[in-house]
Amino acid sequence: QVQLVESGGGLVQAGGSLRLSCTASGRTTSHYAMGWFRQAPGKEREFVAAVSWTGGRTHYRDSVKGRFTISRDNAKSTVYLQMNSPKPEDTAVYYCAADNVLTISIRYAYWGQGTQVTVSS
């Protein structure tokens, strides 16, 4: 089993920056793809970004390209989501996920509990 714990969420002004972290424990995730998803009130969970286990491949949803950066440190079993110039529409609960397949779909095997990000205008 893999346990994922997100941190770093909070209130940020539009145009500011915020970095989310997700630390894994249990079975090693160094060979797992990692993803970030988000869910706003009344909306379905959606893909934000994903990174391969080597860190060499990344995927982003169009609306965050150029503003968000996903990265990972396998030695620390941690994946990051650097959020620059966030917008009010980025407000959501952000979830970290892990799977042995790199995908932008929601079919990740392991999920964290989520961290709230609120962007004020």
Residue reference for tokens 């797992």: 32
User: CB of 81 within 8 A of CB of 36?
Assistant: yes
Burial 22-58 (b: 16+ CB within 10 A, else e): bbbeeeebeebbbbbbbeeeeeebebbbbbbbeeeee
CA distance to 11, 45, 46, 60, per residue, from 89 (Å): 13, 14, 13, 16
Q: What is the CA radius of gyration of the chain?
A: 13
Per-residue pLDDT of 71-121, as tens digits, reads 999 999 999 999 999 999 999 999 999 999 999 999 999 999 999 999 999
Q: Tell me: the pLDDT tens digits for 45-57?
A: 999 999 999 999 9
